[in-house]
Amino acid sequence: MQTRFDLTQKDIPTSWYNLLTDFPEPLPPPLHPGTKEPIPPEALEAIFPKNLIAQEVSSERWIEVPEPVRDIYALWRPTPLLRAVRLEKALQTPAHIYYKYEGASPAGSHKPNTAVAQAYFNKEAGTKRLATETGAGQWGSSLAFACSFFGLECNVYMVKISYQQKPYRRMLMHTWGATVHPSPSDQTEYGRKILAEDPNCPGSLGMAISEAIEDTMTHPNTKYSLGSVLNHVCLHQSVIGQETIKQMEMAGEEPDTIIGCCGGGSNFAGLAFPFIRKKIKEKKNYRIVGVEPSACPTLTKGDLRYDFGDTAETTPLLMMYTLGHKFMPPSIHSGGLRYHGMAPMVSHALKLGLMEAEAYHQTKIFEAAILFARNEGVVPAPESAHAIASVVSEAIKSREDGKKRVILFNLSGHGLLDLSAYEVYFTGKMQDP
Ligand SMILES: Cc1ncc(COP(=O)(O)O)c(C=O)c1O
């Protein structure tokens, strides 16, 4: 029985898909925080290059993937689609479970799909140095990897709690030539202000973003790079779903439930948006689910309103589900999901009823991660394990109601550098905040 569905290098998508053009209602624009008027694209030029701003506001449905980006994608893309037959058996479910494995990239997650594109467009625009933030280090290591290919300097602000918990991701960034600071840091005025108030502050993605933006504004030839949330990041990730549609055809099945974990929303968007297109255009009846931590329940408990993307209030106001930009998420082990907001495009999809959202506690997601590892081999990143917890609950529903379901999820990264979190779970010390 075939359980693995592989495409060849020539199947790497030649265009990114822009869901913005297919929404039945337009996405509310970003606003200037002072005037509360829609922000003109030129205003973003202080932090982003023009070519990426053009993608951020593009009304093109398909945007070409440049050849040099496809060449680097070819190091690991197309990623495999697998059917998790052993997990199905362990759960005694009639459901068929498929996963797209983005942990196959050199950095171990989906993040290089946009890191390579952002480094390429910055290089084209004459940028010499990129500043960014990272939570668990998945994004920082992906950007470090991409910068090393294009000869760009990479300066990363890593959320302090993760800097301490995940030394190996930090070393990975060093290996690819990046400079890494624990955030809040003494490198920026904003970081120094927080440290003066609370020297033991564990940091948050919102704070690290503020530091990276300040770094960008105060250094020559520097631009800012964000690993999620923005339209152009969701756009770059669309290679995931485009490949998956072809691979599900190879498997001869159509998914009825499509699941991805949500931090800032980009891996979810990457898998789901090409399917949402089919839902809108072909009236497909997919159930599409974004999964988040109960400790940072942006989609399930947040409000849909204009809010800042960072703690220091330096970004434009974005219309998104948010817990408030001052929200300090508890120090859970899924560092990449500790963000107060959600991609405006994902937020809009939820508002329009094109998707649903669920939240799980961390002990539940580690239980699911271990079940997956013991049956399918891959040790999932704790972030990705949120999707697995939802898959398991859906597969159990199938067992209970006797109905076959075809469940598809995005295994956004491996957890080989997250084993300290697994250790906390195994020693019984993990708590649900
Ligand atoms: C493996 C993995 N999955 C998911 C995420 C969540 O981010 P996003 O919602 O942008 O995909 C992260 C973030 O670092 C991650 O490392």
Q: What pLDDT digit, counting tens, does each position of 90-137 carry?
A: 999 999 999 999 999 999 999 999 999 999 999 999 999 999 999 889
Residues 108, 382: contact at Cβ < 8 Å?
no
What pLDDT sits at residue 117?
Answer: 99
Least confident of 59-73, 139-153, 203-217: 203-217
DSSP state letter for 21: G
Percent pLDDT > 70 in the chain is: 100
DSSP state of 39: P
Centre of ligand 1 from the C-alpha of residue 269, in Å: 11
Lowest-confidence region among 32-36, 190-194, 229-233, 412-416? 32-36
**Ligand 1 binding pocket mutation candidate from 209, 337, 350 (most atoms within 8 A of CB):** 337
Measure the CA–CA gap between 61 and 340, rounded to whole angstroms.
Answer: 29
Given a cut of 90, is residue 181 above it in pLDDT? Answer: yes
Residues in contact with ligand 1 (CB, 6 Å cut-off): 109, 135-136, 138-139, 228, 261-268, 336-337, 381, 383-384, 412-413
Mutate to test the pocket of ligand 1, among 79, 102, 110 (most ligand atoms within 8 A of CB): 110
Of residues 75 and 205, the one with the higher pLDDT is 75
Structure tokens at 280: 């809108």
Phi and psi at 357, nearest 5°, equal: -135, 150
The CA-atom distances, in angstroms, between 235 and each of 21, 197, 304, 430 are 11, 39, 22, 36
What digits encode the pLDDT tens for the residues 414-429?
999 999 999 999 999 9
Contact 254, 160 (CB under 8 A): no
Which H helix or E strand runs over 321? strand 317-322
Residue 63 three-state SS? strand
Average pLDDT on 335-342 reads: 91
Ramachandran angles phi, psi of 291, nearest 5°: -120, 135
Radius of gyration in angstroms for the set of CA atoms belonging to the chain, rounded to a whole number: 20
Task: Identify whether the C-beta of residue 417 lies closer than 8 Å to the C-beta of residue 371.
Answer: no
